[in-house]
Amino acid sequence: MTQAIKIDNLKYNYNDDQVLFDGFNLEIDSGQWVALVGHNGSGKSTLAKLILGLIAANSGNIDVFGERLTVDTVHHVREQIGMVFQNPDNQFVGATVADDVAFGLENKQTPSIEMPRMIDEALSIVGMLDFKDREPHMLSGGQKQRVALASVLALQPKIIILDEAMAMLDPDGRATIMRTLQDLKSRFGRDITLVTITHDMDEAILADRVVVINDGQLILDGTPASVFSQYDIIHHNGLELPFAGELVEKLDTKPKSYLDERELIQWLSHLNK
């Protein structure tokens, strides 16, 4: 299986008296949806910055699709990664939704004849094509984040990292982004790798894999159901169980087969009806 991201023996500290990562390892397979969870200050955003080469590790290696991240490769590596950040308002540059998606394509020197099709395609994937002539600032939070996602998708990244991208959204906005991410997974399959960074366990439910970090250390790593069932460790690391995790907790007395991820999602969708 191709590895999208391989972090090997990473060491990083912002200052001499605080080592954040020391001997940190993480491998993410191509096509996986990984929720990177941890309370504030646990090192999630720093990890994203290291993967993007915005900051350099003290030691250790980061490989993206087998390419070692160095000063020489950083631009090529970055081209393969799209980022969506917390505050949708900070990500808009265009006067209309379509202008906004066009911006990244222009930067990439996409031939102008190809741009309208690429813009429409990206907007239709996130269900925002009907909004293409709207002013971005007039949209709801969830719509804004879908446009931010379209701007990233238009550049055809292999990896998308969403750093607390749902943190400022209301429950409806959050639900539309979760649904959009699910759609992306079914549409692109192994061609897209998703990393959703969050302090909110509820956003981890639909991921293939949940990685919990605390103070730069990997605490738990597994399917949502297997991670949620470790509620003692989750509480101990300052995190709240998601609603689904509470369900798992309640159902823990039943056979373990009830705790698999597919059933967890089925319960959830049933409950949401």
- Name the residue nearer to ligand ADP (CB basis): 20 or 147: 20
The torsion of the CA quartet 228, 220, 26, 188, rounded to 10 degrees, works out to: 0
CB of 15 to ligand ADP, least distance (A): 6
Which of 16, 17, 40, 109 contacts ligand ADP by CB under 6 A?
Answer: 40
Which of 3, 6, 11, 45 contacts ligand ADP by CB under 6 A?
Answer: 45
43 forms part of the interface with ligand ADP (CB under 6 A): yes
- Name the residue nearer to ligand ADP (CB basis): 45 or 156: 45
Q: Pick the piece of the chain touching ligand ADP (CB under 6 A) from 39-47, 181-189, 233-241, 257-265.
A: 39-47
- Name the residue nearer to ligand ADP (CB basis): 150 or 169: 169
> Cα(92)–Cα(71) distance, rounded to whole angstroms?
28
List phi, psi (to 5°) of 106.
-65, -45
Q: CB atoms < 10 A from the CB of 222, how many?
A: 15
210 forms part of the interface with ligand ADP (CB under 6 A): no
Q: Residue by residue, what is the 3-state secondary structure of 190-232?
A: HHCEEEEEECCHHHHCCCCEEEEEECCEEEEEECHHHHHCCHH
Catalytically annotated residue among 121, 164, 246, 261: 164
* Pair of tokens at residue 39: 């309370």
44 forms part of the interface with ligand ADP (CB under 6 A): yes
Q: Pick the piece of the chain touching ligand ADP (CB under 6 A) from 35-43, 117-125, 202-210, 229-237.
A: 35-43
Q: Pick the piece of the chain touching ligand ADP (CB under 6 A) from 33-41, 165-173, 176-184, 217-225.
A: 33-41
* Pair of tokens at residue 11: 């060491």
Q: Pick the piece of the chain touching ligand ADP (CB under 6 A) from 43-51, 97-105, 166-174, 254-262.
A: 43-51
> Cα(210)–Cα(200) distance, rounded to whole angstroms?
12
Number of residues that bind ligand ADP (CB under 6 A): 10
Cβ atoms of 94 and 136 within 8 Å: the answer is: yes
Which of 10, 12, 33, 38 contacts ligand ADP by CB under 6 A?
Answer: 38
> Cα(110)–Cα(131) distance, rounded to whole angstroms?
22
- Clarify whether 164 is annotated catalytic: yes
Binding mask 3-32 for ligand ADP (x = CB under 6 A): -----------x-----x------------
**Interface with ligand ADP by CB under 6 A: which residues?**
14, 20, 38, 40-46
